[in-house]
Amino acid sequence: MRTRPMVDRPLGSPTVAPAAAVPPAEGLARIRDLLARGGVAVLSGAGLSTESGIPDYRGATGSLRRHTPMTYQEFVADETGRRRYWARSHVGWRTIARAQPNSGHRAVQALRASGRVGAVITQNVDGLHHAAGTTDAVELHGGLDRVICLDCGTLSPREELDQRLHAANGRLEAAGAQVNPDGDVELAPELVDAFQVVPCLACGGVLKPDVVFFGENVPRARVDHCYDLVDTANALLVLGSSLTVMSGLRFVRRAAKAGLPVAIVNHGPTRGDEHAAVRVDLPLGEALTTLAQDLGPGPGPTLPD
């Protein structure tokens, strides 16, 4: 049976009032104290990637204000819906593929390398944690850089599919269109209608990005692994997530139920504020860089016996 390391905190789990954003200096100082103890689990959301040019879902300029993401049910059941998804995603993928980690991703990796952060769970599908060097970050919702066949289960690189779609359709353009967190962009209806979807090379089946769509469940084994990471942490630090959906909120509730301190850095209130000891409203790149610099290199990661 796995056990959580001993943590210096009062016995019991006192009720915590919803965390209003505290002054930045005070909030960062409290988060710095949590990180100084090491072994903090990070849960990141779309807000961490906005400084890399990828919008979030629910912020002031969030993509849900202008587009409805594809659902799993529509993708599986509707050939027209799949064509629309792949046409728009084929164009949007170029922006996702070109995106670079920002200072927030790099600071998370510095904190991971120093042992301050013990695990990283991300709700993002853009692969930027991995690109920043946090190659063991758990991609809760999968990654847009992979494609899976719904018939035979074969995984293949997105770049390979991109080349095949380009060969079948030529170069599609959507001048001025803004990419969404799921890689989707607005595209003229006539371009969507003429778009040719390609099948799985292994069996001829239906291809889907290896991501969890709205209406689809995260694989149980992946959820359990993330629970384990939270259970063995000393605290949970949420970065750039409104925690609106249960997919991420469940880990905050798990931590709070166990009496673990929860800290949040996010623009605006979150659904998890009632469980948080502190919430700071600051640009993530600035806040995380400050924390990483203040804490320094640290003792390095703890290795298993």
Q: Mean pLDDT across the chain, nearest whole number? A: 87
Look at the block and give the residue holding tokens 């799949």: 82
* CATH homologous superfamily of 24-53+101-142+218-295: TPP-binding domain (3.40.50.1220)
Q: What are the tens digits of pLDDT across the range 257-273? A: 999 999 999 999 999 99
Q: Which amino acid is at 36?
A: A
pLDDT of residue 139: 98
Per-residue confidence band for 304, with pLDDT thresholds at 50, 70 and 90:
very low
pLDDT of residue 179: 76
pLDDT of residue 21: 75
pLDDT of residue 237: 98
pLDDT of residue 18: 53
pLDDT of residue 61: 46
Where are the domain boundaries for CATH 3.30.1600 in the chain? 63-100+144-211
pLDDT over 90 for what percent of the chain? 73
User: Using CA atoms, how far apart are residues 296 and 116, in angstroms rounded to an integer?
Assistant: 10
pLDDT of residue 146: 96
DSSP string, 200-262: -TTTS--EEEEE--BT-PPPHHHHHHHHHHHHT-SEEEEES----SHHHHHHHHHHHHTT--E
Q: Is it true that domain 63-100+144-211 has CATH number 3.30.1600? A: yes
Please check the confidence at residue 176 and state whether its pLDDT lies above 70.
no
pLDDT of residue 123: 96
Where are the domain boundaries for CATH 3.40.50.1220 in the chain? 24-53+101-142+218-295
User: Using CA atoms, how far apart are residues 129 and 105, in angstroms rounded to an integer?
Assistant: 6
Structure letter (DSSP) for residue 21: B
User: Using CA atoms, how far apart are residues 227 and 245, in angstroms rounded to an integer?
Assistant: 16
| 141 is annotated as an active-site residue | yes
Cα–chain center distance at 280:
19
| Mean of pLDDT values over 191-195 | 93
Which of 29-33, 63-67, 281-285 comes out lowest in average pLDDT? 63-67
β-bridge partners, 237:
42, 263
Residue 89's SS3 state is helix
User: Using CA atoms, how far apart are residues 126 and 92, in angstroms rounded to an integer?
Assistant: 12
Please check the confidence at residue 299 and state whether its pLDDT lies above 90.
no
Active-site choice (141, 166, 267, 275): 141
pLDDT of residue 2: 34
Q: How far apart are the two ends of the chain, measured CA to CA in Å?
A: 16
Per-residue confidence band for 7, with pLDDT thresholds at 50, 70 and 90:
very low
Whole-angstrom CA distances from 34 to 27, 115, 182, 195, 219 are 11, 12, 32, 51, 30
Cα within 13 Å of Cα(153), Cβ side: 0
Q: What are the tens digits of pLDDT across the range 62-82? A: 444 445 788 999 999 999 999
| Mean of pLDDT values over 86-104 | 92
| Mean of pLDDT values over 151-171 | 95
pLDDT of residue 184: 79
